[in-house]
Amino acid sequence: MCGIVGYVGARTATPILIEGLKRLEYRGYDSAGVATLDGDQLAIRRASGKIGRLEAALAAAPAAGSQGIAHTRWATHGPPTERNAHPHLSQDGTIAVVHNGIIENAPLLRQELQARGYVFQSDTDTEVLAHLIEVAYAGRLEAAVIEALWQVEGTYGIAVVSSREPGTIVAARKGSPLLVGLGQGEHFVASDASAILSHTRDVVYLDDGDVAVVTRDGYRVVDLEASQRDKDVSRIDWDVQQIERGGYPHFMLKEIFEQPATVQNTMRGRLILEEGFTKLGGLNIPKDDLLAVDNIIITACGTSWHSALIGEMMIEELCRIPVEVEYASEFRYRNPIVTPRTLCIVISQSGETADTLAAMREAKRRGARTLGLVNVVGSTIAREDDGGIYLHAGPEIGVASTKAFTSQVVALALFTLKLARLRDLSVERGRQIAQALADLPAQIQSILDRADEVEALAEEFKRASNFLYLGRGYNFPAALEGALKLKEISYIHAEGYPAAEMKHGPIALIDELMPVVCLAPHDAVFDKVVSNVQEVKARKGRVIAITTRDEPALRGVVDHEFRIPETVDLLTPVLASIPLQLLAYHIAVKRGCNVDQPRNLAKSVTVE
Ligand code: AGP
């Protein structure tokens, strides 16, 4: 996630800006930069990689001045290079902008600006803003920023300075957090209070549509009509660590609760509801080549392999193309069948998993076209694939993958819908799936609003030594994922199984000490799952059912029931995984485990 820091006061700005950026390191980033104003001299220093490289650049060429803005970038548009690092400059070099968020209509605005002779120096959507503000500037930075913001669609948290108005920072927010920090003879702007906590605990949180004009002696807030907005001053009583987790006790819980927003971000600008279609700009596969694909391999590891299994079912059901899902570690060493008409989808949150990277390279060597579903922009897999779909889920800090998994399933659904509608899926069915996707964020939120019900379940089952997770169809991979979540953070042995497969061995494990989580949405195989539940109960097993309706067939049969909203079958795993993430999280916490950094595990397995 990108970070913003701004300062205007009597002290030298650079040390304050760098300290603030370091406080934002936890959010994940891949490049950083500062812009300072010394009188009317605007200095820019940027570097890819860690903040230490930016510090080196500043040591080599100090940036003076008691005003400045700074940014850590988590790339969304354009690779993490110095040229794409913020701040971005207007063409006349007088205006510098740092930006969090996504400007959805940036490509169109870029074309219009280029037609007017503006030459772009970066691949970013942010640079569009810098030029729009220059175009609008007519003596007041505040007014120019407002006029520019009227033209953008999407989300932003920005800070802007200009050598034509030393002593002023203009900040604005829509969909990306931003606040003003209040000091004595100095003021701050930040995307996160942790960046300025060492200087002040008095802040004004900006709301969507706010524009703040900040000087060393004060600030004022207006709306996009330039009307004054009165804002409350808040006193921060958190410590830095609490702030980094947004007030949550662990990154994993924060990321679980981010999922309404992250699933929304994965779909942002990509869903065409009225056509039941999707717009995926990064596929880089000509339509005819995409239609020529006659077999698909999906390769991944861990949680990403679970989303691959869901993708397999989606593509085969809706596109009628055979799909093979392969553990990357297996694929790379066996002699797989790959043809020039093979599409190899590579799923990886980190984009750096060694086995997955090797499997992709092997598929490419054998002539397959590769498509990466990756979260980390500019990661190795994202750079080496032939095309891709970025998840836009923001940095996932907790080792146990949660928001990346739901975004992977959504990205697979977006790809499947596009391919199916290019083939023979009807517009009606396409609209139904598109609408179901659009409904997901609110449905996820409705589940999160009942998280305390899951915590109560965790209290009852925290001492179990073994768990069994059962599901059918799309919910079999969801069962596997639920089991993986539990075992990797609570160290309880847990297995996921196709519900019917239980009779072929695992049923021997069932007794009154064995909790069985059963995914039982009201779908075509619901009655079969009920039979499996009864088999478990006949052997004194304790059943937690994840259902979508008040089911008479389960009433009085299961020991616990957690209801999730109904959606189309292929998206049920997105909703079913939320209570399973929470169950694993709360059991692990109650067992005193290190939830964010479980023993023996790494966030990205970059070794074989
Ligand atoms: C999932 O919770 C684990 N952290 C692990 O299985 C992970 O999914 C796997 O290592 C793959 O990582 P990737 O998606 O970054 O490639």
Q: Which residue has the least CA distance to atom 7 on ligand 1?
A: 302
What is the token pair recorded at 592? Answer: 């005193």
pLDDT at 23: 87
**pLDDT(241) > 80:** no
Q: Ligand 1 centre from 304 Cα, in Å? A: 6
Q: Ligand 1 centre from 303 Cα, in Å? A: 5
Residue to probe by mutation, ligand 1, list 304, 407, 601, most atoms within 8 Å of CB: 304
Q: Which residue has the least CA distance to atom 4 on ligand 1?
A: 400
Q: 502: closest CA among 481, 482, 517, 523? A: 517
Q: Within a 13 Å sphere around the CA of 481, how many CA atoms are in the beta-carbon half?
A: 34
* 399 Cα nearest atom in ligand 1: 4
pLDDT over 90, % of the chain: 85
pLDDT in tens, 273-327: 999 999 999 999 999 999 999 999 999 999 999 999 999 999 999 999 999 999 9
Residue to probe by mutation, ligand 1, list 326, 327, 345, 353, most atoms within 8 Å of CB: 353
**pLDDT(378) > 80:** no
Cβ < 6 Å from ligand 1: which residues? 301-304, 348-350, 353, 356, 399-401, 488, 604-605
- As a 3-state breakdown, the chain gives helix, strand, coil percent values, each rounded to 5, of 40, 25, 35
The H-or-E segment that residue 30 falls in is none
50, 364, 537, 603: the catalytic one is 603
* 402 Cα nearest atom in ligand 1: 2
Q: Ligand 1 centre from 191 Cα, in Å? A: 28
Q: Ligand 1 centre from 457 Cα, in Å? A: 26
- Among 19-28, 158-167, 256-265, the range scoring the smallest mean pLDDT is 19-28
Q: Ligand 1 centre from 376 Cα, in Å? A: 13
**pLDDT(484) > 80:** yes
**pLDDT(409) > 90:** yes
pLDDT at 602: 77
- Burial bucket for residue 40 (CB in 10 Å: 0-12, 13-18, 19+): exposed
- Among 98-107, 437-446, 593-602, the range scoring the smallest mean pLDDT is 593-602
Residue 216 CB partners (closer than 8 Å, separation 6+): 8, 9, 10, 66, 67, 167, 185, 186, 187
- Burial bucket for residue 104 (CB in 10 Å: 0-12, 13-18, 19+): middle
Band of pLDDT at residue 30, cut at 50, 70 and 90? confident
Q: Structure pTM?
A: 0.77
Residue to probe by mutation, ligand 1, list 349, 391, 408, 604, most atoms within 8 Å of CB: 349
Amino acid at the residue 568: V
pLDDT at 131: 98
CA distances from 262 to 308, 376, 450 (A): 19, 14, 19
Residues in the chain: 608
For every residue of 468-537, DSSP letters joined together read EEEE-TTHHHHHHHHHHHHHHHH--EEEEEEGGGGGGTGGGG-STT-EEEEEE-SSTTHHHHHHHHHHHH
Q: What is the mean pLDDT of residues 416-423?
A: 97
**pLDDT(1) > 70:** no
Q: What is the mean pLDDT of residues 129-140?
A: 97
What distance in Å separates the CA atoms of residue 390 and residue 131, rounded to the nearest whole number?
A: 26
Residue 388 CB partners (closer than 8 Å, separation 6+): 282, 283, 284, 371, 372, 373, 374, 382
Amino acid at the residue 417: L
* 602 Cα nearest atom in ligand 1: 4
pLDDT in tens, 66-123: 999 999 988 777 788 889 999 999 999 999 999 998 899 999 999 999 999 999 999 9
* 604 Cα nearest atom in ligand 1: 15
pLDDT in tens, 53-64: 999 999 999 999
Residue to probe by mutation, ligand 1, list 605, 606, 607, 608, most atoms within 8 Å of CB: 605
pLDDT in tens, 209-237: 999 999 999 999 999 999 999 998 988 87
* 400 Cα nearest atom in ligand 1: 2
Residue 505 CB partners (closer than 8 Å, separation 6+): none
Q: 495: closest CA among 528, 475, 517, 473? A: 517
pLDDT at 222: 97
For every residue of 560-582, DSSP letters joined together read EEEE-----GGGHHHHHHHHHHH
Q: Which residue has the least CA distance to atom 6 on ligand 1?
A: 302
What distance in Å separates the CA atoms of residue 135 and residue 129, rounded to the nearest whole number?
A: 10
Q: Ligand 1 centre from 313 Cα, in Å? A: 21
3-state secondary structure 388-408: EEECCCCCCCCCCCCHHHHHH
Bridge pairing between strands 271-272 and 277-278: antiparallel
pLDDT at 78: 77
What distance in Å separates the CA atoms of residue 583 and residue 458, rounded to the nearest whole number?
A: 6
Q: What is the mean pLDDT of residues 15-31?
A: 87
Q: 160: closest CA among 229, 72, 68? A: 68
What distance in Å separates the CA atoms of residue 319 and residue 604, rounded to the nearest whole number?
A: 32
Long-range contacts of residues 233-239, Cβ cutoff 8 Å, at least 24 apart: 233/182, 233/202, 233/203, 233/204, 234/202, 234/203, 234/204, 234/205, 235/201, 235/202, 236/193, 236/197, 236/201, 236/202, 236/203, 237/201, 238/193
- Burial bucket for residue 426 (CB in 10 Å: 0-12, 13-18, 19+): exposed
* 485 Cα nearest atom in ligand 1: 2
- Among 70-79, 90-99, 151-160, 526-535, the range scoring the smallest mean pLDDT is 70-79
Q: Which residue has the least CA distance to atom 9 on ligand 1?
A: 302
Q: Ligand 1 centre from 400 Cα, in Å? A: 7
pLDDT in tens, 171-210: 999 988 899 999 999 999 999 888 999 999 999 999 989 9
pLDDT at 47: 95
CA distances from 221 to 146, 148, 176, 213, 323 (A): 12, 17, 17, 6, 55
* 22 given a catalytic annotation: no
**pLDDT(523) > 90:** yes
pLDDT mean across residues, the chain:
94
Q: Ligand 1 centre from 393 Cα, in Å? A: 15
pLDDT in tens, 351-375: 989 899 999 999 999 999 999 999 9
CA distances from 436 to 128, 154, 358, 433, 446 (A): 33, 22, 35, 5, 15
Q: Which residue has the least CA distance to atom 16 on ligand 1?
A: 348
What is the token pair recorded at 90? Answer: 């207007």
* 518 given a catalytic annotation: no
What distance in Å separates the CA atoms of residue 31 and residue 588, rounded to the nearest whole number?
A: 34
